[in-house]
């Protein structure tokens, strides 16, 4: 802890509503950093309060370029932007060459799998990763062993957990299980009742237990983001798992992706799911990749499979996007940086039309 550490986060500036201080989760957390860490923390408070993300990022790069960095923490897509600018500024081949004492990258907020290959390419070798599961509703879980990518469920922090089988989440009266009833390997939507006032609140995530003593989990997706234009109920967990598989199978690096329904194709024919993917390098065999993606969704989702087999939907299509498309989209919304994330899928074309 005698070397520098950087926490890429939202602004720590707080506002007052009534008698309550409010702000971005990551900004609030900045106020809770132990005093013995603060002397080595980057960026400065002044830099961290800059509203414009790209201006802030440039300032962070300047502050950290010559630092002796040992730990970096943040949401993967924004840390990736930080790494890219560091390499342009420094001329180094990778982040490890710039920060030889860098030992640990702590991440959370999104599924790391789609970013992993790109991040490893930027960083180089010799940097461990550690995942956390923070949420506005509570600190849900954390990785307590970097040789095991499961997360230890935080069962002693004023939260009571319930779990709804993921395939019942859209039912009117779904099953609600407590910890003693869950099983390893099944996907559950997670509900929280807390001493902060939540009661049976669906935080929008799905998790999967990997161990029951102690309780350890993996975040498997988002339940609040889905496509069900035809009753298919495709959820984030399914598209993220599919994209992870094709990235491994075809050795692909992607920056971001999102999925939307195409209900009335301009070219005619059956509707389909359109995947907008920002590749590092656009592959030549997009049709083969799209076919494999479709196979993975069919494998995971019986409703989608029935719609494809029944000729209600045609197989999915991939629309490759130019570099920077998602960054520009988030910037246009004023949501570039901080804790903001691109939804993996939407039940309409609001994001798709802005990207296309």
Residue 241 sits in which domain range? 226-355
Q: How confident is the model at residue 58 (pLDDT cuts 50, 70, 90)?
A: very high
**pLDDT tens digits, one per residue of 279-289:** 999 999 999 99
> Which residues on adjacent β-strands are paired with residue 6?
42, 72
Summarize the confidence of residues 292-299 as an average pLDDT.
96
Q: What is the pLDDT of residue 267?
A: 86
Residues 200 and 242 grouped into a single domain: no
Euclidean distance between CA atoms 104 and 306, whole angstroms: 45
pTM of the predicted model, to two decimals? 0.76
Distance in Å from the first CA to the final CA of the chain: 46
Q: How confident is the model at residue 334 (pLDDT cuts 50, 70, 90)?
A: confident
Does residue 70 have a pLDDT over 90? yes
**Which residue in 156, 160, 158, 215 sits closest to 184, CA to CA?**
215
Summarize the confidence of residues 132-155 as an average pLDDT.
92
DSSP helix/strand/coil, 282: coil
Residues 188 and 264 grouped into a single domain: no
Q: What is the pLDDT of residue 120?
A: 92
Residues 232 and 330 grouped into a single domain: yes
Q: What is the pLDDT of residue 356?
A: 76
Q: Which residue in the block uniquely carries the two structure tokens 């980057």?
A: 42
Q: What is the pLDDT of residue 121?
A: 92
Residues 125 and 199 grouped into a single domain: no
Query: Are 68 and 32 contacting, i.e. CB atoms less than 8 angstroms apart?
Result: no
Residue 237 lies in a domain: yes
Residue 145 lies in a domain: no
Q: What are phi and psi of 71, to 5 degrees?
A: -145, 135
Summarize the confidence of residues 208-213 as an average pLDDT.
96
Q: What is the pLDDT of residue 32?
A: 86
Does residue 190 have a pLDDT over 90? yes
Residues 217 and 232 grouped into a single domain: no
**Which residue in 45, 79, 43 sits closest to 60, CA to CA?**
43
Count of domains observed in the chain: 3
Q: How confident is the model at residue 202 (pLDDT cuts 50, 70, 90)?
A: very high
> Which residues on adjacent β-strands are paired with residue 320?
277
Euclidean distance between CA atoms 355 and 274, whole angstroms: 12
Q: What are phi and psi of 60, to 5 degrees?
A: -65, -40
Residues 159 and 77 grouped into a single domain: no
214 cis-preceded (ω within 30 degrees of 0): yes
Does residue 160 have a pLDDT over 80? yes
Summarize the confidence of residues 14-41 as an average pLDDT.
86
Does residue 211 have a pLDDT over 90? yes
Residues 65 and 162 grouped into a single domain: no
- Mean pLDDT, the chain, integer: 91
User: Which DSSP category does 266 fall into?
Assistant: T
Residues 13 and 121 grouped into a single domain: yes
């Amino acid at each position: 802890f005698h070397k520098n550490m950087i926490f890429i986060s939202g602004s720590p500036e707080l506002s007052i509503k009534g008698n309550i201080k409010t702000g971005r989760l990551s900004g609030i957390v900045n106020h809770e950093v132990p005093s013995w860490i603060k002397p080595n923390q980057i960026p400065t408070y002044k830099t961290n309060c800059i509203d414009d993300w790209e201006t802030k990022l440039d300032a962070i790069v300047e502050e950290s370029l010559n630092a002796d960095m040992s730990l970096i923490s943040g949401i993967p897509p924004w840390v990736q932007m930080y790494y890219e600018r560091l390499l342009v500024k420094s001329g180094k081949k990778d982040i490890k060459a710039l920060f030889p004492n860098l030992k640990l990258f702590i991440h959370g907020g999104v599924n790391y799998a789609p970013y992993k290959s790109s991040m490893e390419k930027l960083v180089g070798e010799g940097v461990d990763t550690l995942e956390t599961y923070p949420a506005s509703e509570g600190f849900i879980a954390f990785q307590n062993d970097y040789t095991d990518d499961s997360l230890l469920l935080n069962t002693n922090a004023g939260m009571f957990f319930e779990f709804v089988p993921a395939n019942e989440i859209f039912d009117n009266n779904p099953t609600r299980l407590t910890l003693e009833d869950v099983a390893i390997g099944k996907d559950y939507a997670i509900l929280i009742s807390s001493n902060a006032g939540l009661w049976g609140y669906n935080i929008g995530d799905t998790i999967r237990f990997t161990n029951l003593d102690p309780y350890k989990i993996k975040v498997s997706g988002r339940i609040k983001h889905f496509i069900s234009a035809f009753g298919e109920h495709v959820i984030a967990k399914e598209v993220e798992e599919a994209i992870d598989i094709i990235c491994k199978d075809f050795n692909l690096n992607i920056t971001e992706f999102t999925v939307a329904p195409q209900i009335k194709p301009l070219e005619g024919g059956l509707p389909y799911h359109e995947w907008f993917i920002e590749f590092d390098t656009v592959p030549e065999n997009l049709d083969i990749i799209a076919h494999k993606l479709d196979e993975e969704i069919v494998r995971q989702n019986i409703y989608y499979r029935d719609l494809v087999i029944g000729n209600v939907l045609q197989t999915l299509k991939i629309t490759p996007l130019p570099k920077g498309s998602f960054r520009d989209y988030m910037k246009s919304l004023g949501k570039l940086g901080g804790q903001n994330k691109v939804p993996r899928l939407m039940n309409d074309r609001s994001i798709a039309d802005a990207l296309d």
